[in-house]
Amino acid sequence: MPLQNGDFVLVDYVVRVKETNEIIDSTIESVAKKEKIIRKNGVYEPILVVLGEGWILKPVEEELLNLDVGQSRIIEVPPLKAFGERDSKKIKIISARELSKKGITPRVGERVELNNEVGIIRSVSGGRVTVDFNHPLAGKTLIYEITVLKKIQNIPDKVCEIVKRHIRTVDKNLVKIEHIEKTIKIELPESVRVIDGIEYAKRGIVKDIFKTMIDIDSVIFVETYRKS
């Protein structure tokens, strides 16, 4: 039976740019390392997608609804349905002096953040710096090779995958989850309780639980400390 909106699924994928055949992302460790794709958290493994929640590009999500567990599909996503076409208005000339005032030494290829926009320095010449604020994948057609590995059925497993979505480095085997009527209790391993952004991650976990599991009305994070 094909998947449907609301289903929790784990997927593997490889994404490449059609125009260059360059692989730009993958959940598969062997592929990522071969292509020298570096992730900040160093985690390469299947990701959670809750269908209908927009956690993956819409054309890919729509195609997943035609698949079942174990099936694969190659999906072509044109620029307008991916990261948009390139916009010449997003390429701006900024004085090197202005950047210096912000503590930025302009170097070609570096990413900079200005006025809440992230851009890439394309050229530096005569005190003038060209910064491209287009998304790096703007104007590109993307090819997704995606496989549905598993459909998650029970609530504790769903919650565990949501935790993993927000704390990629956590060991799922060490996450303790208890489901009692309309309440979820989560105990995270000590190794992640003090990592940067953990409170932000918790808020994201709670938000996802409430949005995707309508029968749950409270989430409790439990911290247990044992005398050594």
Domain extent at residue 56: 1-85+136-152
Cα angle 144, 147, 152 (rounded to 5 degrees) comes to 130
Q: What is the pLDDT of residue 43?
A: 83
Same domain for 214 and 117:
no
Same domain for 34 and 72:
yes
Measuring CA to CA, how many Å separate 49 from each of 105, 191, 221?
A: 40, 25, 23
Q: What is the pLDDT of residue 39?
A: 75
Q: What is the pLDDT of residue 225?
A: 80
Q: What is the pLDDT of residue 102?
A: 87
Same domain for 102 and 5:
no
Q: What is the pLDDT of residues 129-187, one digit of tens each?
A: 999 999 999 999 999 999 999 999 999 999 999 999 999 999 999 999 999 999 999 99
Domain count, the chain: 3
205: CATH: 3.30.70.2210
**Residue ranges of the chain whose pLDDT lies below 70:** none
Q: What is the pLDDT of residue 36?
A: 87
